[in-house]
Amino acid sequence: MKGLFWLLRTLLFIPQPRITKDEALEIARQECERRGWGWRNPHVTEELKTWLIWTMGGMRPSPFVAVNQQTGEVVRSGCPSR
C-alpha cells in the first residue's frame, strides 16, 4: 500500500510526507492527553495527505486523530459515540 501512495503522490504532484509515522503518533498522543482520551494500542493508517491514528486500536469506534503529513497539524479528531 505504501508504494501505491508513493505513486499516487508522484502522479498528482503531492509532496511525499515530511512527518513520519512515529512523529504522527507522538502528535496524536499529545492531542489525546490534551482532550483527556485514552491511549492504548494505537493503530495508524496512512492516507494520501494525512496519518489517521485510532487511539485504542482494538476497539471500534475509538477516538481518532488525523495528522497532516506535511505540517504535523491535527486536521481533525473525534470521539465517536457507541
Domain ranges of the chain: 2-78
Q: Model's pTM, two decimal places? A: 0.85
- pLDDT band at residue 10, thresholds of 50, 70 and 90? confident
7 sits in which H/E element: helix 2-11
Each residue of 35-61: pLDDT tens digit?
999 899 999 999 989 999 999 877 778
Tell me the CB-side half-sphere exposure of residue 9, using CA atoms within 13 A. Answer: 18
Calpha distance 31→73 (Å, rounded):
10
Give 2-78's CATH code, choosing from 3.90.550, 3.40.50, 3.30.70, 3.10.450. Answer: 3.10.450
- Specify whether the CB–CB gap between 19 and 70 falls below 8 A: yes
Assign 45 to helix, strand or coil.
strand
- Averaged pLDDT for residues 31-36: 93
